[in-house]
Amino acid sequence: MDVPRGKAELLLVYEYVPNGTVADHLHGKLAESCNLSWSTRLSIAVQTADALAYLHESDVIHRDVKTTNILLDENFQVKVADFGLSRLFPNDVSHVSTAPQGTPGYVDPEYYHCYQLTEKSDVFSFGVVLMELISAKPAVDITRHRHDINLSNMAIDRIQNHALQELVDPKLGYDKDHVVQKMVKLVAELGFNCLQPDREMRPSMHEVLELLRGIEKEVMNTQKQVVVDIQES
């Protein structure tokens, strides 16, 4: 790019991410051609939680956590993007008073009603992301029943009524794979806790991260055991 002599230009350069966004793969343009396995979805959840926990430790609230802001590189490694709404969160206050901003379907209801932004607002949004990873359904869909338009409401209803199977993406093989079934239930329970209306009832992102790492470790141990059993048989 040629720049006229004596004229300064500022360029914003983004790293190319060939696999698009998580939303693309779950319910977007790549949903039919590329099926994300459960292990890949769980890895995405762990990496995203890790990034958000890091931000919170640095006193930053993302404020727009959603699957379209979770980018995937060639190895399906996560890059959390779009910090246009992010806020610095002083560690000596309980909340920041500010007009609600974010994306419909992901906004913490307590933040929306009380104008009080906390790190638990990101936790709520991440809970919606977890439910998207489980269901492959968008956070908002006006074609669904009016009580299910918001995925957060739909997920809470299905979990409370012991009907999780109605929520789970059929591509995951939930009914046939007992390992997937167990892990999905654990992640759904975690997502349910993240979506609690009372922010004090939600876990911190650090707690979310540790729980997800534990679930991922259990998956890896199970896969290793399967390999050992096959080799011994």
Which CATH number does the domain housing residue 162 bear? 1.10.510.10
Helix, strand, coil share (%) of the chain residues, nearest 5 = 50, 5, 45
Its domain, for residue 38, covers: 22-232
Answer with the residue of higher pLDDT: 111 or 137. 137
* Number of domain units in the chain: 1
Does any domain span residue 8?
no
Per-residue pLDDT tens for 51-94?
999 999 999 999 999 999 999 999 999 999 987 776 766 665 44
In the prediction, which pLDDT does 230 show? 57
Residue (of 103, 126, 36) closest to 72 by Cα position: 36
In the prediction, which pLDDT does 98 show? 67
**pTM of the full predicted structure?**
0.87
Does any domain span residue 3?
no
How wide is the angle at C-alpha 123 spanned by C-alphas 40 and 83, nearest 5°?
80
Mean pLDDT of 179-197: 97
Does any domain span residue 222?
yes
In the prediction, which pLDDT does 135 show? 98
Does any domain span residue 74?
yes
In the prediction, which pLDDT does 11 show? 74
Does any domain span residue 37?
yes
Residue 49 has pLDDT above 80, yes or no: yes
Does any domain span residue 6?
no
Mean pLDDT of 30-50: 94
In the prediction, which pLDDT does 129 show? 99
Element (H, E) at 193: helix 178-194
183/215 Cα distance (integer angstroms): 7
Active site amino acids: 64
In the prediction, which pLDDT does 218 show? 84
Does any domain span residue 159?
yes
CA dihedral 91, 96, 100, 102 (to 10 degrees): -10
Mean pLDDT of the chain: 88
Does any domain span residue 226?
yes
Buried b (16+ CB within 10 A) or exposed e, 30-46: bbeeeebebebbbbbbb
Residue 231 has pLDDT above 60, yes or no: no
> Would you place residue 232 in the very low, low, confident or very high pLDDT band (cuts 50, 70, 90)?
low
In the prediction, which pLDDT does 4 show? 62
